[in-house]
Amino acid sequence: MTSRKEYNDLPAHVAIIMDGNGRWAHQHLLPRYMGHRAGVKAVRRVVESCKDRGIEVLTLFAFSSENWRRPGDEVGLLMDLFVRTLKKEVETLKRNGVQLRFIGDRSAFNKKLRELIDMAEVYTRENTELVLVIAANYGGHWDITQTMRKLAHRVKEGSLQPEEISQELISGEISLADLPSPDLFIRTGGEQRVSNFLLWQLAYTELYFTDTLWPDFNEQALDAAIQSFRKRQRRFGQTGEQVEQLKGA
Ligand code: IPE
Ligand code: IPE
Ligand code: MG
């Protein structure tokens, strides 16, 4: 008998840590940079697959606030690749109904990249097929900090009382506030850690880890993750029986 749990809805929001580019390159006896290039191809495939499946939001971790600690050469090449990919893809994304957004601290990027990011957001903002969020110079600690700073300013101005600071208020100010919370988190590359990705937003996200290296990630790998998600029972603190009853109601 098929359990009804297999019929969980599709995740509305999928968030992915795209890890393993360096190891993929190593396996293929290539420089790390080639792994990142192959990673861009995987991004294209996965964006299309998510759109085809009716997923509403896809958030991709492209560069963490800690990735600046990598050798300067690699950081420079990653930035170049970021700029080139953005320039090259924005037209196709626009045509395909993809709305592009960025989260993370943009102030660390050079002016050219900041302008490109702003332009891409404005250019695609009417699109509704899929919201593609790129986390660039993003860190969960940074996100919580910038939210607290905004609220502290409001307290200082007198428009907010400390007692009014609530979970809802924080959720309303933090990155991705206007989007559904991530339902499914995927990390490729075999590591089982969150690496300072969406800390606040992942509170009740289903976690899925795969050994597949990011450049090898494809439609089938995405379906395997979705399938795993669909079999899970999300209880949000309740009992399994309560959840079954609610579903049956
Ligand atoms: C992820 O792949 C891409 C970025 C962090 C930019 P890695 O470059 O971390 O690949 P591994 O973990 O070294 O294999
Ligand atoms: C996480 O991968 C960041 C991105 C994929 C952009 P890392 O490769 O930087 O994570 P750690 O250092 O292994 O935790
Ligand atoms: Mg890595």
Hey, where are the domains in the chain? 13-140+182-230
Q: What pLDDT was estimated at residue 5?
A: 45
Q: Give the residue, out of 195, 197, 209, with the most ligand 2 atoms within 8 A of its beta carbon, to mutate for a pocket test.
A: 195
**Residue 115 pairs with which residues in a beta bridge?**
none
103: helix, strand or coil: strand
Tell me the CA–centroid distance for residue 14 and ligand 2, in Å: 17
Asked if residue 45 has pLDDT above 90, the reply is yes
Rg of the chain, C-alpha, whole Å: 19
Q: What pLDDT was estimated at residue 6?
A: 46
Tell me the CA–centroid distance for residue 177 and ligand 2, in Å: 24
Which whole number is the average pLDDT over 28-37? 98
Which whole number is the average pLDDT over 64-93? 97
Report which ligand 2 atom has the smallest distance to the Cα of 135.
6
Tokens of 208: 């899925």
Tens digit of pLDDT for each residue in 97-110? 999 999 999 999 99
Q: What pLDDT was estimated at residue 249?
A: 76
* Mean pLDDT, the chain, whole residue set: 96
Task: Please spell the DSSP secondary structure of 172-206, one letter per residue.
Answer: HHSTTTTSPPPSEEEE-SS----TTSSTTTTTTPE
Asked if residue 235 has pLDDT above 90, the reply is yes
Which whole number is the average pLDDT over 72-94? 97
Protein residues with CB under 6 Å of any ligand 1 atom: 18-23, 63, 67, 78, 189
Class of the CATH-defined domain 13-140+182-230: alpha beta
Catalytic residues: 19, 67
Q: Ligand 2 atom 8: the closest Cα is on which residue? A: 19
C-alpha–C-alpha distance, residues 107 and 155, integer Å? 24
Protein residues with CB under 6 Å of any ligand 2 atom: 17-19, 61-64, 67, 191, 193, 195
Q: What pLDDT was estimated at residue 7?
A: 56
The set of residues, in sequence order, having a beta carbon less than 8 Å from that of 69 and lying 6+ positions away, is: none
Tens digit of pLDDT for each residue in 177-214? 999 999 999 999 999 999 999 999 999 999 999 999 99
Q: pTM (2 decimals)? A: 0.96
C-alpha–C-alpha distance, residues 104 and 175, integer Å? 8
Tens digit of pLDDT for each residue in 110-129? 999 999 999 999 999 999 99
Q: What pLDDT was estimated at residue 74?
A: 98
Tell me the CA–centroid distance for residue 82 and ligand 3, in Å: 17
Q: Give the residue, out of 16, 21, 32, 64, with the most ligand 2 atoms within 8 A of its beta carbon, to mutate for a pocket test.
A: 64
Which whole number is the average pLDDT over 29-56? 98
pLDDT bucket at 248, cuts 50 / 70 / 90: confident
